[in-house]
Amino acid sequence: MTRLDSTLDEIAKVRSSASIPDLLRRIGDRYGMRTVAYLGTGTLDRQSPQREPYVAVTYSSEWVERYRAREYLKIDPTIQIGLRRLLPIDWDDFIGKQRSLSEFFGEASEHGLGRKGISFPVHGYSGDRALFSATADLSEREWWWVRRTAFRHFPIIAAHLHEAVLRTEGVCRAQPHLSPREIECLQWTSEGKTVWECGMILGLSPHTVRCYLESARHKLGASSNTHAVSIAFKSGLLFDLP
């Protein structure tokens, strides 16, 4: 079983939000990360107007307390920008841009966060959003390899983790409605067919197939075609072909 498969299997077994911090630690160990964090907002904090966003981290308690006391949420670019954008964020993009940010990241490093960091946004189809972040203390060469794997695995892990948090917090989702063409494109994608092959089978152009897949991903809140297929299978929208 691969690292990704093992991680997704663990996430699928989550039944209590109390187990998520330990799960984050295991994910960090599995991928060579120093810290891992999850922030969820939108659907979760709409349950109660006074409720704060859902947070689970492997940070030290000292850093968590300092972060809150100094209201770093107001200047933390990984959150301020991360929850608004679709693409992953490399923390190196913020280093050296402003003195206050350099001091912020330096202070974070002093309190146990790694010098290198990345964040992956999740946008749900009910207005919910999340941010999955990880840091590491590695050389540039080591970080290049770890980051390469993270950019393939972490968007999928982030999306599955977000679904697990919603489940444990009792947030019910209405099953999204997919059009017959969207289901067909996902069905053949699940069988390992390329966009071109799907088009040939269904009598559609590759561009049209991509549009159907993109629409299906959006409706399912999926980060990739693979993730969309996984969600569709679990929702009973797809079936195994003989």
**How far is residue 150's CA from residue 119's CA, in Å, rounded to a whole number?**
10
| C-beta neighbour count of 168 within 10 angstroms | 16
Report the predicted TM-score, pTM, of the whole model to 2 decimal places.
0.73
Instruction: Transcribe 3-24 into DSSP letters.
Output: HHHHHHHHHHT---GGGHHHHH
Burial 72-100 (b: 16+ CB within 10 A, else e): eeeebbbbeebbeeeebbebeebeeeeee
**How far is residue 33's CA from residue 73's CA, in Å, rounded to a whole number?**
22
pLDDT digits (tens, 9 = 90+) for 17-38: 889 999 999 999 999 999 999 9
**How far is residue 114's CA from residue 123's CA, in Å, rounded to a whole number?**
26
Give which of 108, 99, 50 is closest to 79, Cα–Cα: 108
**How far is residue 159's CA from residue 170's CA, in Å, rounded to a whole number?**
17
CB < 8 Å & 24+ apart, contacts of 170-173 = 171/43, 171/44, 171/47, 171/128, 173/126
Computed over every residue of the chain, the mean pLDDT equals 87
Q: Give me the domains of the chain, ranges plus CATH numbers.
A: 3-168 (3.30.450.80), 180-234 (1.10.10.10)
pLDDT digits (tens, 9 = 90+) for 96-122: 778 888 889 999 999 999 999 999 998
pLDDT digits (tens, 9 = 90+) for 107-160: 999 999 999 999 999 877 667 889 999 999 999 999 999 999 998 899 889 988
Residue 175 burial (10 A CB sphere; 0-12, 13-18, 19+) = exposed
Helix H or strand E segment including 55: strand 54-57
